[in-house]
Structures are given as C-alpha cells and as structure tokens.
Amino acid sequence: MSQRQIQADMIDDTQRSKILSKLARYTGRIVPWDFIKKTDRYVTGIDRFHNLITGIYKPAWSEYALSIIMKNKSPYDRKDEYVFLDDGRWLMTYAPRSGGLSISDNKALIKCMSDHLPVGVFIQLTDKTNRDHGATYRVLGLGSITNYDAKADVFYIEAVEHKVLENITNVLPDPVERYQTQLYAQLTNDFRPTIQEEKATYNVTTYKRDIAFRKMILKEYDFTCSICEMKFHIGDLVEAQAAHIVPKRQSGTDDPRNGISLCRTHHWAFDSGIFSLSDDYRVQLSHIAKKANSNKFNLLDFSEKQVTLPQNNLLHPHPVALAWHRQNIWQKQSQQY
C-alpha cells in the first residue's frame, strides 16, 4: 500500500470517527428529516449524516458506508424490529440494496464488515405524508456489521461493543466529552443496573468518569432538583447534585438511566432511604419521615408528587433501577425503625 493511500485511509477513518462520535450523542432521539440530510443546521461542521436517497449512505469521500436507514415502507420484506443480545446490546437484520452485492452501496457495507468499522443506524418512524410531524427517524445508534447471511440475504448488525466505541471516540481529545459520548451511545441498549468493574476496561480515569456523569445528568435535568425544583446555576456553581439510583458502592452503573438530579438535602434523603420513586415517578415517603423529629424538612410536602424529568424520555430513571432502590434501600431503611 502506498504512503498516499495510507494517509487517505487515515483521513477517512478520522473523519468517519468524528461524524459518528457526534451522531452517538443523539442515540435514541427522534429527529426530523433535515437533522439527517441537512445536519449542519443542527451540528456544526457536519454536512449530513445521510442523504436520504437510498437506505445505504456512502459519502463520496469514503470507500465505506457511513450510515443506513431502515425505512418504514421498505421494498424489502424485512421487519424493522430488533432484539437484545445476552450482553444487552441490540441486534437487527438489514437487507442489502437490490442489484447484488457488487453494487457500490452493498460493497461499502461489506467493506465496513471486513474492516470492522461501524455505521450509524436510523429507523424511520413516519414519512413526509404525516400531517403532525412529517418524516421522522429514531437514531438507533452505532452498529457493527458482523455477518452477511447469503441464504436469508441479510446483514446482521449489532450495537457496537465497548471497545469499538472507545476506538471511535478516541478522536475526542477531552476525556469527559469522550466518556459522555460513550454513555449516550448505549442508551438504546438493554438497561443493566450494575457493572462488574473488575471486568470493565476504560480509556477514561475514574475521576473523569465521575465528572462526565455529573455534568451529563445535571445538564439533562437543567441543573434542577427533580423533587423540589430548586435551581442555582452560574458557571461551575451548581447547587444540585447527580445521584446514582443504584449507588456506585453497590456497583451501580454510570448509565444515565441510573441517575437523577437532586438538591443536597434530597440527595441525602434518597441515599438514606427516606424516600424512593414509584415506576410512574411519584415520591414514595418512608413512614420514618413522619416519625422523625424534623423542622422545615420540606420533603414531607412532596409525598406522591410526580417529579420533574428530562424532555428526552430515554434519560428518565429506569424502572429496574428504581425497583432496586425501593427493595434494597427504601424498604430496608423502613424496617429499621
């Protein structure tokens, strides 16, 4: 391979990584058509994520496919569904473009498969005839093409493994931004409340991961306590705190679905089991709250209140995490008094 070709491949790989890293931060979001085709209206420095002409998008500057779309009225007899693997990642099948594997678009997918490079994956939800929203899409996330089944004539695409995600996000120089991008990228995976730290590997230090989780949660909750809606934010001064629902000391994950924004008092009360949340996000007070000798402890005023949550419902506390908190912290605390 010539030096010129090596340099071209490096530019291609870096450019793809930058674009896919940007896309990863929108994982799970429902977006309009122009977010995908006229991306520079939304994301500085990126022309488009997909051209919306065919299902497979191969930019002129690359040998590889950059992204794919599974349309809701596909000419191919495939279901736009996906299942979860044992490790929580999603798996989908995707039909190649008609015309055989030798045509440019299909060759670009095969090259991604051969060289283990991921693609962005969109699922169409509505088309342009929809009166309320027009054409909309869900960002399923970044996927690795793991196999082509000739008999079924489908590609198998899986949500990227953590190692692949780390390789893609290595183009981001800021370790906090890098880890936040990795957290966003896993929002469409099946939720797992705990992580085995001894089996996990990271390219970001524990200190930076803690900062990334804190900044991510506080930003998504608009720096506001979800219980009392108290807010103080100017520069780096923020009164609210990012709380893990399943605590870190219990191997709780940094998945943002295991997080919630709370003021300092309500963070302490939550960690102490004085209250928890129901699956419909209502405050559930422990009976000890009324037994305690208290004064101006305003948590008592919020019993059964539905808490304030991020606009993106994929970032809401996960029911599995809330059930863990009720069983292991809230109920146990109640049993002690």
292 found inside a domain: yes
Q: Where are the alpha helices (DSSP H) in the chain?
A: 3-24, 33-37, 104-115, 162-169, 175-185, 206-220, 264-271, 288-291, 319-325, 331-335
Question: Can you give the pTM of this predicted structure?
Answer: 0.90
Q: What would the mean pLDDT of 296-318 be, rounded to a whole number?
A: 94
- Tokens describing residue 83: 């299942």
173 found inside a domain: no
Question: Of 133, 168, 203, which residue constitutes the final position of a domain?
Answer: 168
123 found inside a domain: yes
Average pLDDT, the chain: 91
19 and 135 belong to one structural domain:
yes
184 found inside a domain: no
26 and 159 belong to one structural domain:
yes
Which is more confidently placed, 301 or 80? 301
Q: In total, how many domains does the chain have?
A: 2
CATH code, domain with 136: 2.30.280
117 and 230 belong to one structural domain:
no
164 and 67 belong to one structural domain:
yes
pLDDT at 288: 87
Paired with 285 in beta bridges are 275
d(CA 90, CA 69): 16
In terms of residue numbers, what domain contains 17?
3-168
Q: DSSP readout, 242-298?
A: EEESS-GGGTB---GGGEEEE-HHHHHHHHTTSEEE-TT-BEEE-THHHHS--SS-G
Q: What would the mean pLDDT of 98-109 be, rounded to a whole number?
A: 92
d(CA 289, CA 252): 26
201 found inside a domain: yes
152 and 201 belong to one structural domain:
no
Digit-coded pLDDT (tens) for 230-239: 999 999 999 9
Q: 18 Cβ partners below 8 Å, 6+ apart? A: 171
Least confident of 7-11, 21-25, 239-243, 248-252: 7-11
266 and 139 belong to one structural domain:
no
14 and 152 belong to one structural domain:
yes
Per-residue confidence band for 130, with pLDDT thresholds at 50, 70 and 90: confident
**Residue 61: CA count within 13 A, CB half-sphere:** 11
224 found inside a domain: yes
152 found inside a domain: yes
181 found inside a domain: no
Give me the torsion for CA of 230, 233, 236, 237, rounded to 10°.
-60
Under DSSP, the state recorded for 306 is: B
Question: Of 168, 200, 216, which residue constitutes the final position of a domain?
Answer: 168
The two beta strands, 56-57 and 30-32, are unpaired
